[in-house]
Amino acid sequence: MSRPSDLVQGTLDLLLLKILALEPLNGWAISQRLKVVSGEVLQVSDGSLYPALHKLEQEGWIASEWKPSENNRRAKFYSLTRLGRRQLQIEAANWTRLSDAITQVVRLEEA
């Protein structure tokens, strides 16, 4: 399974889950939202987005539904499932722990 090399392992999953926790979106909208929320710092290539989404779907964390999009075309909308919400909590907690630990390490070096 391929993961974006420019993101910390597992971070993309967390980002996607978080974005979908706010509202159901289709693929294109997710890619736009990613760009906006991360302030273009986190570069997610268009190509790696869809395998990641499909993987989350197959894990049962997000569900998909075909609906008309804003320009009245058929688009696949993803939304968070109950399992996904739980997964988001777990991954968010993991991330906080990890980043806290790294921050501390980084500060140690500075001191």
Partner 1 sequence: MRIEHWFYTLPLRLRSLFRRRRVERDLDDELQDHLDHKTSEFLAQGLPPLQARRAALRAMDGLTQRKEQCREARRVGFIEDTIDDIRYGIRVLKKSPGFTAVAALTLALAIGANAVVFGVANRLILHPLGLPHAESLYGLQRPTFFGRLSYPDYADLRDRNRSFESLAGYGVASVGLDTGDTSTRAWLLEATGNYFDALGVQPYLGKFFHASDEHGPDSAPYLVLSYGYWHSHFQDDRNVVGRVVRLNKHPFTIIGVTPPDFQGAILFFFPAGYVPLVDQEQMDGVNLLDSRANNRSVFQALGRLKPGVTPAQAVADLNSIGNYLEKTYPKEDSQMTFQLAPPGLYGDYLGRPVRAFLAALTLLAGLILLAACANLGSLFAARASDRAREVALRLALGSSRSRILRTLLTEAVLISLLGGVAGLIGSKVLLDWLSVWQPVPRFPIHLLLAPDGNVYAFALVVALLSGLLFGIVPVRQVMRTDPYQVVKAGTRVIGGRRVTLRDLLLVGQIAICAVLVTASMVAVRGMTRSMDARLGFEPANVMLADTDLVMAGYNGDAVPAMQKRMMDAVAAIPGVTSVGLTDQPPLGEDGKAPVVFAEQTTDLRPANALGRAMSYNISPEYFRAAGTVLLAGRAIDWHDDRNAPRVSVVNQEFARKIFGSVPGAVGHYFKLRDGTRVQAAGVVEDGKYGSLTEDPEMAMFHPLMQSPSSVTWLIVRSNREPRQMAAILRKTLRNLDQSLPVTIQTWSQEMDSAWFAARVATVSLGVLGLMGAVLAVSGIFGMAAYSVSKRLRELGIRMALGARRSEVLQAGLGRAVKLLAIGSVLGLILGMLSARVLAAVVFQATPRDPMVLGGVVLAMMMLGLLATWIPAQRALSLDPSTLLREE
Name which position in 39, 41, 72, 73 contacts partner 1 (CB under 8 A). 73
Q: Which is nearer to partner 1, 5 or 104 (CB)?
A: 5
Does 10 help bind partner 1 (rule: CB under 8 A)?
A: no
Residue 23 phi, psi dihedral angles, 5° rounding: -165, 155
Number of residues in the chain: 111
The count of residues interacting with partner 1 (CB under 8 A) is: 28
Q: Is residue 24 a contact partner of residue 79, using CB atoms and an 8 Å limit?
A: yes
Q: Is residue 80 a contact partner of residue 21, using CB atoms and an 8 Å limit?
A: yes
Does 55 help bind partner 1 (rule: CB under 8 A)?
A: yes
| DSSP 8-class letter at 22 | H
Tokens 């979908």 belong to which residue? 20
Return the axis-axis angle of helices 82-110 and 46-59, rounded to nearest 10°. 120
Q: Which is nearer to partner 1, 85 or 99 (CB)?
A: 85
Task: Name the one range near partner 1 by CB under 8 A: 13-21, 33-41, 49-57, 97-105.
Answer: 49-57
Q: Is residue 78 a contact partner of residue 59, using CB atoms and an 8 Å limit?
A: no
User: Smallest distance, Å, CB 74 to partner 1?
Assistant: 7
Q: Given the rule CB under 8 A, which residues bind partner 1?
A: 1-2, 26-28, 31, 45-48, 50-51, 54-55, 57-60, 63, 66, 69, 73-76, 81-83
